[in-house]
Structure 1
Amino acid sequence: MEKNSLKVAIIDMYDGVANQGMRGIKEILHRFEVENSIPVHFKIFDLRGKGEIPNLDFNVYISTGGPGDPAEGLGEKWENDFFALLDNIEIYNKAHTNQKKYAFLICHSFQLACRKYGLGTVSKRKSNAFGIFPITLSPEGEQDEIFAGITNPFYSVDSRDWQVIEPDLEDFERKGAKILAIEKERKQVDLERCIMSIRFTDEIIGTQFHPEADPIGMKLYLLTEEKKSSIIEAHGKEKYYDMLDSLDDPARIILTQRIILPNFLHKAIGKLQEA
């Protein structure tokens, strides 16, 4: 790999299910390469479908969202391989003070990591969450470089049947983890606000929401007859058309897509250049 380039492993957790997440990640990597004149080389590893797992030859690891119960892989080889990779990244980073490896974990991957690290309770929601919602940064999140330039609250795509709740804050402190963002406040609902982002280590971060989501991909997804019908049935026509309208708002998911993952990549390339 040439100097001042990024080698990225994309870990595909979609298990063959059609999605827009992969396209969004590729778009961010391509735009980062063009805007920063930095070569970006990426390779996709189909972990759940084909058991593919990257080695430690990469600078950056981005692990996607995906369908299903985040506990269904318990004891499966693919999950053990994923957890071993996170362990190996931590071991590598402790042994190398200058050149680190970075991981960003999205939605399903985030829930898996919360199970692995024993941070919060991963539980099934009373109902599916799907839409573009405000997300609140914690005081730690407001100071974290990954969120530099974002608003508080900010908006992102949230699509899940599971959630991470009931954090033991003393346990977080012991493990060196930080809660960076939580679910929007819902005064009319007497339910705990779930965790939306955690910094697991200095180099490993995760989000429950989808920072890779973009207006084009979301619009394609929302315009499918199946999704349109399911949203209208669950939430009504007004909610559906409000979601479509909000896709063009530059202060919503457009801003999120252009800030969070690019900030993560800037941190990785910055440390690589320092090394």
Structure 2
Amino acid sequence: MRTFRVAILDLYDGVPNEGMRCIKAILAEFYSSINQELTYSVFDIRKLGELPDLKDFDAFISTGGPGSPILEGLAWEKNYFQFISSLIEFNSKNEKKKELFAICHSFQMLFQYFELGEITKRKSTSFGVMPVHMINGAENEPIFKGLEDPFWSVDSRDFQAIQPDIERFKEVGAEILCLEKERPQIPLERAIMAVRFTKEIFGTQFHPEADAEGMQRLFKTEEKKKAVIENFGEEKYNEMLNSLGDPEKIALTEKTIIPNFLHQAYAKFQQFQ
């Protein structure tokens, strides 16, 4: 039987990050669970202009990344969207489907690709361990199976998806499944945090790959501790560390969302072996 192959679409632009480590750790555990050797490849989309060949892979994870996600007409953006178009076309013509999971920066890119609403800069950075609220029957979404409403995840972004075009959502067949935390004291629209773009393409504006242990190590370093306290205050810093130590928060989300996506994609792959 042919092995199940995953491509990581790297949007980090060469910037050091925790996200890639977390994604690779999730993949290692997933491949171990299906008794298969690691068979994933990483493609540097922004810095090197690399893209996978659709025929060589069965599922795709598209990462977060630094900088503004607002489109500038750059070559890598056009190439990335061409890949997304090719994936959609492939899925429309083949019984065997290929799935894609988009994280944060990739989610914001896809929100623009499908023309579903606005991506705007936030008044202030959203950073920390945040509750994510399900809507529109999201509790029935297989990728969220095992989570409560609300569930918790790491949020780290200066931009947001807002102002959904409901008619366009209907036209595309997309659905909003999660919103950011409730802030009744702040008269601002709540950002969209998860969307099923198509039957095979899913995305979150938060970071479901973040692992509690690694995040704790990172935030206990003097450099990161100082940066967080300077930008967000000591109370926020201590709150984050406490949340990271709660097994029902980040650890649960990390062990649920992307693993569910991978097992779902693998089950579809097996149907054609």
TM over 0.5: yes
Q: How many residues are matched?
A: 271
Residue identity matched to 2:24: K
CA distance in 2, matches of 1:21, 1:212: 7
> Which residue does 1:42 correspond to in 2?
40
CA distance in 1, matches of 2:43, 2:160: 25
Residue 237 of structure 1 and its aligned partner are, at CA, apart by: 1.1
> Which residue does 1:134 correspond to in 2?
131
Map of 1:122-271 to 2, 5 A cutoff?
A: 122-271=119-268
CA distance in 1, matches of 2:34, 2:57: 19
Structure 1 residues without counterparts, runs of 5 or longer: none
CA distance in 2, matches of 1:112, 1:140: 24
> Which residue does 2:16 correspond to in 1?
18
Residue 77 of structure 1 and its aligned partner are, at CA, apart by: 1.5
> Which residue does 2:25 correspond to in 1?
27
Residue identity matched to 1:32: F
Q: Does 1:61 align with 2:34?
A: no
What TM-score does the superposition give when structure 1 sets the normalisation length? 0.95
Percent identical? 49
CA distance in 2, matches of 1:227, 1:131: 13
Residue 230 of structure 1 and its aligned partner are, at CA, apart by: 2.6
Structure 2 residues without counterparts, runs of 5 or longer: none
CA distance in 2, matches of 1:40, 1:60: 14
**Contact 1:6–1:40 (8 Å) recurs in 2:** no
Residue 6 of structure 1 and its aligned partner are, at CA, apart by: 1.8
**Contact 1:6–1:39 (8 Å) recurs in 2:** no
CA distance in 2, matches of 1:127, 1:173: 31
Q: What secondary structure sits across from 1:119 in the alignment?
A: coil
Q: Structure 1: which 4+ aligned runs deviate by more than 2 Å?
A: 223-227
Residue 236 of structure 1 and its aligned partner are, at CA, apart by: 1.8
- What do the CA deviations read for 1:104-152 (whole angstroms, capped 9, x no partner)? 1100011011111101200000001110000001133211111011111
Residue identity matched to 1:49: K
Q: What secondary structure sits across from 1:185 in the alignment?
A: coil
Q: What secondary structure sits across from 2:239 in the alignment?
A: helix
> Which residue does 2:76 correspond to in 1?
78
CA distance in 2, matches of 1:93, 1:187: 41
Residue 40 of structure 1 and its aligned partner are, at CA, apart by: 4.0
**Contact 1:140–1:178 (8 Å) recurs in 2:** no
Query: Cα RMSD (Å) of the superposition?
Result: 1.2
> Which residue does 2:91 correspond to in 1?
93
